Structure 1
Amino acid sequence: MAGYGIGDMRCGRWRSMNGDTLDATARQCIARYSMLDAGDGIVVGVSGGPDSVALLLFLLDIAPDLDLRLHIAHVNHMIRGADADADADYVQELGRSLGVPVTVRRVDVPKAARVMGATVEDAGRSARYGLFRQTAKALGFSKVAVGHNADDQAETVIMRVVRGTGIRGLAGIPPTRDLGEGITLIRPLIDTTRTAIEAYCKEKNITPRQDRTNVDVAYFRNRVRWELLPLLESKYNSNVRGALVRLALTAAEDEAYLRSAADKVLERSMAQAGARSGSGSGAGAGVGAGPLRQKAEVQLDLVVLRDAPPALLSRVLATAFGMAADGEHDLYYQHVNAMSELVATGSVGDSIDLPRGIRAWLTYECLMVGRAEEADISLSGEETARNNGRGGVDCHGADAATCTKIQVPGATSVPGCGVMVYAAVGEVGRELAALIDADGALPGPQDLVLLARRAAVEWGFGEMILDPRGLGISWAIFDADKAEMDELTVRPWRAGDRLAPFGMEGTKKVSDIFTDEKIPRRDRAQWPVVVSGDQVVWVVGMRASGIAPVDANTRRFVVLIAG
């Protein structure tokens, strides 16, 4: 990489906000993050827009110096009809004129989204990166380059601030990322502004394609781009984008340091626990040297954990969860906070339930994290009677302590019922009209999935699994105005509860639903139900009510997800 060290590398991630050219900032970025080696083969993701076209032209400029081999990959998402076809034709012709081979794949992304139970955005991203990896593997290339820029970085940071995040989230879009199978994703333009990119295209006398959906403020990112950031620039800080990019840089550096320190605490805690148990290791897997291996049960020494600073403890607990859940999985703040409280104040036998069927529980000397069935922990009969045995629960009276108000939007822990409830809200407007048949029929399950996934992504719950088969079981969707969104609570089931199941006339006893589903009596006492006012709207994990359906008159909806 000799000759690519231009100026002060420490400032490389924000200097372009002050007017540096694309060529200068991209070269700085490549050097700072060691993105390229001589002889690299690179699959370049090219949509036809300014960012990806500028990236391709820049890589062509530096290719002779590093003996780079380039190959263009493009996905036609089949969303914008003739415009999408024109984008694909443009990329094909661009590659031909530049002498760069092109692979184009047509993917019916809306259909893929319905099959996956994902948003169109997520399905499109999956299609693109799938093509990039497959093409790189087929060609024997080790790099994939995409055109994210400094403005994208600023937008991502502020989006995460609005939704709620920690230091890791503030780090924004990483300059590089491992895609597996020896392939690395690189973002050479992550320090370069959109203005500099447009100037570069003009200098090269090339006119990229423009995607009209990039100005559609129905999308959260576009509202941030066209409404929130301009407001902040005009009223509060004219260089707010540069400030956000600097924040991402410092947050990434801080997170890397904290991650390294947390790994040491994790290793020490596992070693101490292993020494006590005689296994020699609390989980049989090292950290920091590669992907974490699955372990059915992770043991962590309580003394080590209780001595750890909160900033390190939270990362240790999140990593332990990932190990038990077979890989890296994010935990929301509520989960990590609940685990921290368990470590700090819990007693032997105390436990909390976590996503993906994982449970954390205390022994005399260790915190255990593993599959719920391995914990073999249940409430005693005395506890059940004390918590729910008085024949009824009044959420507005003496029994209010057994009820938990659902944070809408947000994530709500319900320890007494062993469940987390995630709530997202959305507005439908014209979008719903397209989902309703001319005869006014209710939207189908796949249509509801699309609405729910979009809301979940909007509020930071995009990783939750939503599919048609889980509707009414693992997740539910209601008209927010009919369901009295501000009054939603979770409480244990009680005798006398009735539900008006969706698609049925009248009501049905919840106890009869338990019988139909063959739920043992010993498992029913703490079964969670969601209530709106005094009406049960969801027997979590079983059936949802039809009293507040999403229909042609719906303007706002609420999505509830059990985790």
Structure 2
Amino acid sequence: MPWTPLHSQLHQCLIDRQLLPISANILLAVSGGQDSLCLGQLLRDLQSRWKWQLAVAHCDHGWAQDIGIADRVAQVTTRWQLPYYCETTANLPETEAAAREWRYQALARIAETTNSTYLVTAHTQTDRAETLLYNLVRGAGADGLCAMSWHRQLTPAISLVRPLLEVNRSQTGAFCQEYQLPVWEDNYNRDLKYARNRLRLEIIPQLAADFNPQVESHLARTAELLRADVEYLESLAQDWYRKALDDRGVKLDRPMLQSLPLALQRRVIRQFLAQSLGKMPTFDRIEATIMLIDAPNRTRTSTFSHGLAAEVSGKWIVVRK
């Protein structure tokens, strides 16, 4: 098959962003849809240039609409002459959140079994635009609006990489047609009871028709710009968090926090509460704790989980029962 512009685009993206090194052990997540089949063919074609060790993983949710997908993915993987791994579950709730959480757990297990240090998924520019809108209507801040990044650590030993974030679904669809890849048309992706499907099938096309034909790429660009801002702010906040902590790592220095702008105060408090509570705090809990920075001694927030609350203790903010 011919070398296409999409091959060149991905090859250059991998070089510029240093996403997948030469000779890497890579596990590719393939759902059977057009995006993952497109990425699988691209990586298979680039494999000889990069000397990768490639393997394919598929996650079968055990839902009725998934019957037959695993066999289809296995056939394509045989065509690619790559190792194939499949994990199946049962009684999984038919929700986006449950499916996503289980898939990443399953893929991490397969990656560990195969000694793969990179897990590659086929999230596209389209997915990135959807994620920005989805998180925007839920009231997310900058972190949520840029949540879909090029790479992040899935586990300490496994990096999650998304190399198609500058490629849209029109491109992946055309590529699959050219290569005659057997795309599985999942009815789940057309079910409008799921919010992301409504965004993809109704809202974004309407925005493109009424406001900007390039809305998808522009939303994805906004996410990329926000990503750089968030990474910079988070690195500053981590430095200030370490400075503001007491020697035992359980109290925050209020006078030091008073010197910071609100954006950094929020991030420092979020890191402090995440450590103290053992989970990520809500926006309301962060805001309530920020009020303690300038509050009188013994001022407390309302109770958090497990009977805990943040309290002013002299120059410090502490979390205690």
Higher helix proportion: 2
Among candidates 299, 314, 319, match of residue 350 of structure 1: 299
Q: Which residue of 1 aligns with 2:152?
A: 177
Offset of 1:184 from its aligned partner?
A: 0.7
Inter-partner Cα distance in structure 1 for 2:313 and 2:224: 41
Offset of 1:181 from its aligned partner?
A: 4.0
Q: What is the TM-score normalised by the length of structure 2?
A: 0.93
C-alpha contact 2:11 2:46 (8 A) present in aligned 1: no
Question: Between Structure 1 and Structure 2, how many residues are aligned?
Answer: 317
Q: What is the TM-score normalised by the length of structure 1?
A: 0.54
Q: Residues 234-383 of structure 1 correspond to what in structure 2 (within 5 A)?
A: 234-270=209-245, 274=246, 281-283=247-249, 298-326=250-278, 329-344=279-294, 346-352=295-301, 353-355=303-305, 357-369=307-319, 372-373=320-321
Offset of 1:205 from its aligned partner?
A: 2.2
Q: Residues 104-503 of structure 1 correspond to what in structure 2 (within 5 A)?
A: 104-108=86-90, 111-113=91-93, 120-270=95-245, 274=246, 281-283=247-249, 298-326=250-278, 329-344=279-294, 346-352=295-301, 353-355=303-305, 357-369=307-319, 372-373=320-321
Q: Which residue of 2 aligns with 1:62?
A: 46
Offset of 1:90 from its aligned partner?
A: 0.5
Inter-partner Cα distance in structure 2 for 1:127 and 1:333: 26
Offset of 1:356 from its aligned partner?
A: 5.8
Mark the runs of 5 or more structure 2 residues left unpaired by the alignment. Answer: none
CA RMSD of aligned residues (A): 1.8
Give, as a single letter, the amino acid of the residue that structure 2 aligns with 1:105: E
Q: 1:228 to 1:39 in 2, by over 3 A?
A: same
Higher strand proportion: 1
Deviation per CA, 1:198-217, whole angstroms, max 9, x where unpaired? Answer: 11112212231110111111
C-alpha contact 2:62 2:92 (8 A) present in aligned 1: no
Mark the runs of 5 or more structure 1 residues left unpaired by the alignment. Answer: 1-19, 114-118, 275-280, 284-297, 374-563
Offset of 1:32 from its aligned partner?
A: 3.8
Offset of 1:92 from its aligned partner?
A: 1.0
Offset of 1:182 from its aligned partner?
A: 0.9
C-alpha contact 1:302 1:366 (8 A) present in aligned 2: yes
Inter-partner Cα distance in structure 1 for 2:89 and 2:129: 30
Offset of 1:123 from its aligned partner?
A: 2.6
Inter-partner Cα distance in structure 1 for 2:223 and 2:12: 17
Offset of 1:282 from its aligned partner?
A: 4.8
Inter-partner Cα distance in structure 2 for 1:254 and 1:42: 29
C-alpha contact 1:25 1:189 (8 A) present in aligned 2: no
* Ranges of 4+ aligned residues in structure 1 off by more than 3 Å: 355-358
C-alpha contact 1:148 1:189 (8 A) present in aligned 2: yes
Q: 1:141 to 1:107 in 2, by over 3 A?
A: same
- Find the residue that maps to 1:350 and give its secondary structure: coil
Inter-partner Cα distance in structure 2 for 1:121 and 1:90: 22
Give, as a single letter, the amino acid of the residue that structure 2 aligns with 1:55: L
- Find the residue that maps to 2:67 and give its secondary structure: helix
Inter-partner Cα distance in structure 2 for 1:171 and 1:358: 31
Deviation per CA, 1:74-100, whole angstroms, max 9, x where unpaired? Answer: 1221212xx523111101111112211
Give, as a single letter, the amino acid of the residue that structure 1 aligns with 2:88: R
Deviation per CA, 1:190-235, whole angstroms, max 9, x where unpaired? Answer: 2210011111112212231110111111111111111111121111
C-alpha contact 2:61 2:92 (8 A) present in aligned 1: no
Calculate percent identity across the aligned residue pairs: 27
User: Relative contact order: is structure 1 or structure 2 higher (C-alpha 8 Å, sep ≥ 6)?
Assistant: 2
Deviation per CA, 1:30-56, whole angstroms, max 9, x where unpaired? Answer: 234322112111111111110111111
